[in-house]
Amino acid sequence: MGKSRPSNRSKGDRRDKERSILNSTQVPRSKTRKSQAAVDPTALLTQATALLQTGQPDAALPIAQRALALLQPASRTPTHLSLPALSLLGEIFLELGDPASAATTFLQAVSLDPDGHLPEDMGGGVEKFLWLAQLCEEGGEESIGWFEKGTEVLGRDIADLEAQIATGKKIEESQVLLQEKMRKLAAALCGMVEVWMTDLSLSPAAETACTSLITRALAASPTAPTLQTQASLLLSQCELLEARSVLSRSLSLWQDLPAEHPDIPDFPTRISLSRLLMEAGLEDQAMGVLEGLVAEEDGSVEAWYLGGWCASLMAGLGRSSEESEAGDGEDPMDESISAKEITKDDEVPKSNGGRNALLITSREWLRNSLRLYEIQDYEDDRLRDHAVEVVEQLDGILGDVADDEGAVEEEEWEEDSEDSGDNDEDDGEDGDVEAHNSGQNDDLEMNGT
């Protein structure tokens, strides 16, 4: 049988096809796989992670979603290969302020690694359980359940690392990882304490559970955040002196460290610390923490608010309506010190610069908080209402806004005038009068004026 006859195509036809290909705006199909290499899911996840770490979650989201689509096609049953993308997407949703989507994503990850046996570099591990403990809508027992699952995984990891160290394998690396796991375990245990103190506080088992959990947390990692949780528990048990001691110890662990030191607690932890210090009556220490916070981040509504509130307490204003224990039908400010009750002779520590300076500082900080509240569309009605309430009190004491700077200057001018008058009189008086005037100046110093 002869060969088949070739098709009768002219050279012109071939040239026309070549020309159309050269002039076409469409990319012809290629036998190479360069286009597939450009959408490698691992590279996409690396890119999305970098964007998330540089504060660009909006840009990271579509890239991570594309990686997930490649790792978990809709036509196939999901496998553990999609775990890295799911873990990253959960964190991106959290940064975008979408906790519902984050929880859904972490639940998908749990379905692929229900016991946390897969290693973290494959998207497994403990993180999804700890996030769900904080994100679950029910809270209470459900939250405790997720925390317990997380502590089981961490306990297993810690045992493995301790075994490696005992056998001399990668000792330095294993010790670093061990400390990290111990900190996470302590944080999870403290999270459980917080749930028992809030959602489950009416349970008969609450106090026993809290005591047991905080003991385990301190044994795992007695760091500043763990000590803060212990102090919070002690305050709830009305153990004020012991709580103050624990808070002071917590503060001493990091307050003299240089900026950027890894042992300095994060911003939210220090905000919580300032609240605890105020609750324990340690306003001086609280103000020191808050001054550091606003120097670090001057756009924090809560830091400015707490600083203003703290300064007002240091100046002698009574407890706010938030703290008041007045019953129904009573004036919530009954236990506060009104403007009429604040007098010039009330005792204020000399180191604080006197009452007027503290009251002025309080009003300035609270007004800064309220300005930022409006600019940022902040959502905390109780914070705003309390700030407005205290500012109104301060306005009744200090007067108009324009008086802020003048109040201090006028007070200093009056002192200078008195000192000048005393000196003039001294020129014409004997030694007894000089001694008497010297005693007056000593009294002025003691009063902080």
CA distance 367 to 116: 48
Give the count of alpha carbons within 13 A of 368, CB side only: 20
Model confidence over 177-202: pLDDT tens digits? Answer: 999 999 999 999 999 999 999 999 99
CA distance 2 to 23: 39
Q: Are 280 and 244 in contact (CB under 8 A)?
A: yes
Q: Are 358 and 365 in contact (CB under 8 A)?
A: no
Q: Cα torsion for 190, 194, 199, 200, to the nearest 10°?
A: 60
**Among residues 47, 51, 108, 60, which one has the least CA distance to residue 81?**
108
Q: Would you state the structure tokens that stand for residue 303, as one six-digit string?
A: 């830091």
CA distance 264 to 262: 6
What is the pLDDT at residue 276? 96
Question: pTM surpassing 0.75?
Answer: no
Model confidence over 214-264: pLDDT tens digits? Answer: 999 999 999 999 999 999 999 999 999 999 999 999 999 999 999 889 899
Q: Are 88 and 108 in contact (CB under 8 A)?
A: no
Q: Is the pLDDT reported for residue 15 higher than 70? A: no
Model confidence over 271-325: pLDDT tens digits? Answer: 999 999 999 999 999 999 999 999 999 999 999 999 999 999 999 886 544 443 3
**Among residues 211, 366, 213, which one has the least CA distance to residue 303?**
366
Q: Would you state the structure tokens that stand for residue 246, as one six-digit string?
A: 């624990």
Q: Mean pLDDT across the stretch 402-406?
A: 47
DSSP per-residue letters across 304-323: HHHHHHHHHHHTT----TTT
CA distance 439 to 152: 69
Q: Would you state the structure tokens that stand for residue 378, as one six-digit string?
A: 């902040």
The overall average pLDDT reported for the chain is 79
CA distance 23 to 17: 10
Q: Is the pLDDT reported for residue 341 higher than 50? A: no
First to last CA, the chain: 120
Q: Are 196 and 209 in contact (CB under 8 A)?
A: yes
CA distance 141 to 135: 13
CA distances from residue 324 to 214, 280, 318, 391 in whole angstroms, order as listed: 29, 15, 9, 17
Q: Are 277 and 287 in contact (CB under 8 A)?
A: no
